[in-house]
Amino acid sequence: MRSALQRFWAEWSWPLQVFLLTRLALLGAAFFADIALPGPPEAAGRLEPSNLWLDVWARWDSGFCLHIATQGYYLYPDEPSAVAFFPLYPLLLKGLAGLVGNAVLAGVLLSHLSFALALMVLWKLSLQLLNSPAAARRAVLYLAIFPTSFYFSAVYTESLSLLWVLLAFYALHERRWEWAAVSAALASATRVTGILLAGVLWLEYLRAWEGRSRWPVGLALAGVGSLGLLSYMAFLAVQFGDPLAFWSVQGSFSREVGGFIEEIRPLFQQNFLTGPISWNVLLDLLALVFGVVGSLVAARRLGLGYALFGLLSLLIPFSSGTGSLSRYVLMVFPAFMVLAEAAERPWLDSLIRFIFPLLLGLLLAIHVNGIFVA
pLDDT of residue 210: 66
Rg (C-alpha) for the chain, rounded Å, is 20
Distances (CA, A) of 263 to 49, 99, 316: 34, 44, 16
Cα separation of the two ends of the chain: 45
DSSP for 74-130, please give it. ---TTS--GGGS-SHHHHHHHHHHHHHS-HHHHHHHHHHHHHHHHHHHHHHHHHHHH
Residues in the chain: 374
DSSP for 308-359, please give it. HHHHHHHHHHHTT-STTHHHHGGG-HHHHHHHHHHTTSHHHHHHHHHHHHHH
Cα separation of 281 and 284, whole Å? 5
Residue spans of the domains in the chain: they are: 12-368
pLDDT of residue 173: 94
> CA 232, 238, 241: angle at the middle one, nearest 5?
100
Contacts of 32 (CB under 8 A, 6+ apart): none
pLDDT of residue 261: 60
Distances (CA, A) of 264 to 106, 188, 279: 38, 30, 12
Q: For 175, left (φ over 0), alpha (ψ -120 to 50), or beta?
A: left
pLDDT of residue 209: 74
> Mean pLDDT for each consecutive 10-residue tract of the chain (374 residues)?
78 96 96 80 67 90 95 90 95 97 96 98 97 96 98 97 98 95 97 94 85 74 95 96 91 66 59 64 92 96 94 90 91 98 96 97 92 87
pLDDT of residue 188: 97
